[in-house]
């Protein structure tokens, strides 16, 4: 899978999104299932979608990508992810290949490679939700309603 850094974007068309998770684990060691926000930010426009997941999973990633893809006012052309196993797996690879979505990844331990989505993690998700611990379906549904 090709690596893309912060400087590699070169003014793309709308439809190339950086994607990331925000763990709502209360700042503790991540041991168990916590609610996650799945954040998708378009590089060209700044359009940002935040979706709630009861835990990290490739099947939830695909479900949410499809949901956002149908709602975007422009075609989904590419996804740029980190090295999380919920992104780096055969299901996501096969989906992107079948739908002709470019899939790239950042370098390991280089958060600046995904500067647009990382910025939204703080300015949207953490600003609205904070750093508290969220667990379970009720918390997921409450977060999704925001």
pLDDT in tens, the chain (146 residues): 888 877 888 889 999 999 999 999 987 766 678 999 999 999 999 999 999 999 999 999 999 999 999 999 999 999 999 999 999 999 999 999 999 999 999 988 888 889 999 999 999 999 999 999 999 999 999 999 98
Length of the chain: 146
Q: Which pLDDT score, from 0 to 100, does residue 102 have?
A: 96
Where are the alpha helices (H) located in 22-103, listed in sequence order? 58-71, 90-98
- Determine the Cα–Cα distance for residues 120 and 106; give it in Å rounded to an integer: 17
Q: Which pLDDT score, from 0 to 100, does residue 111 have?
A: 85
Tokens at residue 6, please? Answer: 């912060």
Q: Which pLDDT score, from 0 to 100, does residue 30 have?
A: 64
- Determine the Cα–Cα distance for residues 28 and 87; give it in Å rounded to an integer: 23
- Determine the Cα–Cα distance for residues 118 and 110; give it in Å rounded to an integer: 11
- The residue among 69, 71, 68, 74 whose CA lies nearest residue 13 is 74
Q: Which pLDDT score, from 0 to 100, does residue 31 have?
A: 65
CA dihedral 76, 12, 48, 35 (to 10 degrees): 70
């Amino acid at each position: 899978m090709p690596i893309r850094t912060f400087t590699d974007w070169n003014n793309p068309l709308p439809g190339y999104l950086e994607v990331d998770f925000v763990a709502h684990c209360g700042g503790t060691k991540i041991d168990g299932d916590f609610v996650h926000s799945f954040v998708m930010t378009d590089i060209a426009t700044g359009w940002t979608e935040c979706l709630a997941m009861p835990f990290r999973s490739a099947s939830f990633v695909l479900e949410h990508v499809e949901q956002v893809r149908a709602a975007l006012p422009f075609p989904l052309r590419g996804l740029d992810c980190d090295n999380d196993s919920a992104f780096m797996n055969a299901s996501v690879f096969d989906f992107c290949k079948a739908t002709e979505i470019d899939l790239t990844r950042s370098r390991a331990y280089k958060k600046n490679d995904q500067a647009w989505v990382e910025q939204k993690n703080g300015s949207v998700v953490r600003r609205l939700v904070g750093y508290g611990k969220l667990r379970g379906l009720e918390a997921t549904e409450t977060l999704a309603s925001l």
